[in-house]
Chains A and B, each alone.
Chain A
């Protein structure tokens, strides 16, 4: 028996939900609106209709060379994601298809490394990076982002791989497939969706990481997180410019996030909630 939904009930739910949703979204909306204002408009009091000037966007590029940190963010998040996948795919694979008594312990241990406060190793990391000449370098930061997200990547892949039925492997083996043939022709196609979702989540996490990206960079390798943080002590009028820089910084990830809601839940909960 379907539940009878009264129109009245639906109308009230719709109204309440939209009001709450718009309140939650408001800071983002207001940032986007302000990015199309002039600096004087931006501090002239509450106003939802901007003059639609794009001067702030132009100034963010001309005054701060915005393109550079933006590209750094792209390079760091893509690079670290690919690197993490290269290391994690074999590991998750072996744990999903050849589990041992210790598999669960290893998984829990990996998760526990995520619990270590980054700040506890701030100075050693600084020393290591300095001695290797990796401070403020894209390579150093790529490795850093790879390592801090590796546990989540392994976990997420593991939960996907575990759902691939083992009988398929046995069937292909009976048909005479070699080990590599088995991996390449049978498993890979089934694993691609899981790998893609993992990639998406990791790009989001790497893009928004805001401890090491701020502490280990100066100008050369600084991504958007470090760039935006430098706006915390600005001179003069800067709200429209801050808004323009912020809008550009969050837009790509916001859109990716909207398209990946389902995978996100699964990835972020280590498969515990689907």
Chain B
């Protein structure tokens, strides 16, 4: 049993992490909250004043705002769908006996280690460029007109890049989860005459549930904050077609110097993230108790 001495020590050991994180979170958040009720422009301070909920109304009545929230949701949900479904399929494939399994695994997980600006610029210039990209080369080979991906399908292009980055993560987690499935159960099901589909639905999928939950949680944290991929490819455009909420807040603060509006947007982003977090934390908390 822990003694009183060790318990006191334990508190002292825990305190720095908790206090630092608390301060690190609370102070900036309070400042943001304060600015969200002010009109504040560092370049033009004459009109600076308290405006109540004015910034929230302005932000809300800005058509870019609703579009950015919609884009955020489309981005997160599309990438989740692609990576979870793709990840399950890839994990099932990589779980089969094959030659060179180790190398195949390394090739598949590699994109995860590529830093976002590199991933985005490589896709933008070398793969999806309408003139010199590989996609354009393929299109011309088949006698088709090359597509200007970032001008015509900007959000889709960003989704494609982000999904490429996160598919390896989902695959790796789900493959690990798959490999912990009891082999005897599988064999028993096989001997009882269960086909591939029924084995998948009644045995494999339930076993993967925990892995899938974790994949969705972690990815959502990062996907809600996608920034660099947009910055170096479409810069949010054309118009606001590929602007997500973080990018809109960045534009308001760093390009238009509308600090009040940016702060209101930031607070809305926090609220959104918390709604998602609430459900996800419950799911993970339950899973961790098992």
Contact = CB atoms under 8 A, between A and B. Distances in A.
Contact of B269 (A1, A106, A117): A117
A27 B266 contact: no
A120 B270 contact: yes
B14 A272 contact: no
A214 interface: yes
A52 interface: no
Contact of B228 (A16, A113, A225, A231): A225
A52 B57 CA distance: 58
Interface stretch (B48-56, B74-82, B272-280): B272-280
A127 B168 CA distance: 37
Interface stretch (A54-62, A134-142, A187-195, A262-270): A262-270
Contacts of B71: none
Given A123-B263, A232-B232, A98 B115 contact: no
Interface string B127-155: 10001101001100000000000000000
A122 B269 CA distance: 12
A225 B269 contact: no
A115 B246 CA distance: 13
A98 B96 contact: no
Contacts of B46: none
B196 interface: no
Contacts of B134: 30, 46
A205 B18 CA distance: 21
A246 B120 CA distance: 11
Contacts of B172: 261, 264-265
B21 A110 contact: yes
B65 interface: no
A13 interface: yes
Contact of B266 (A121, A128, A256, A257): A121
A5 B97 contact: yes
B20 A87 contact: yes
Contacts of A118: 225, 227, 246
A94 B113 CA distance: 32
Contact of B113 (A13, A250, A270): A250
Contacts of A113: 21, 24-25
A90 B173 contact: no
Nearest to A1: B187
A171 interface: no
A66 interface: no
Interface residues of B, number: 109
Nearest to B248: A119
A254 interface: yes
Contacts of A242: 121-122, 125
Interface in B1-41: 2, 5-7, 9-14, 16-18, 20-21, 24-25, 27-29, 31-32, 35
A35 to B, nearest CB: 11
Contact of A249 (B118, B131, B267): B118
B231 interface: yes
A20 B167 CA distance: 12
Interface string B221-261: 10011011001110100000000011101100110000100
Nearest to B140: A45
B126 A228 contact: no
B17 A122 contact: no
B107 A25 contact: yes
Contacts of B249: 119-120, 122
A119 B114 CA distance: 22
Interface of A: 1, 3, 5, 9-10, 13-14, 16-18, 20-22, 24-25, 27-28, 30-31, 34, 43, 45-46, 87-88, 90-91, 93-95, 97-98, 104, 106, 108, 110-125, 127-128, 147, 150-151, 154, 179, 204, 207-208, 210-211, 214-215, 224-225, 228-229, 231-232, 239, 242-243, 246, 249-250, 253-254, 256-258, 261-262, 264-265, 268-274
Given A115-B274, A273-B211, 7 more contacts: A20-B93, A21-B103, A45-B137, A94-B14, A117-B270, A123-B253, A228-B232
13 contacts: A9-B97, A13-B93, A13-B98, A17-B101, A27-B122, A94-B11, A110-B17, A116-B25, A124-B29, A124-B31, A232-B232, A239-B132, A268-B169
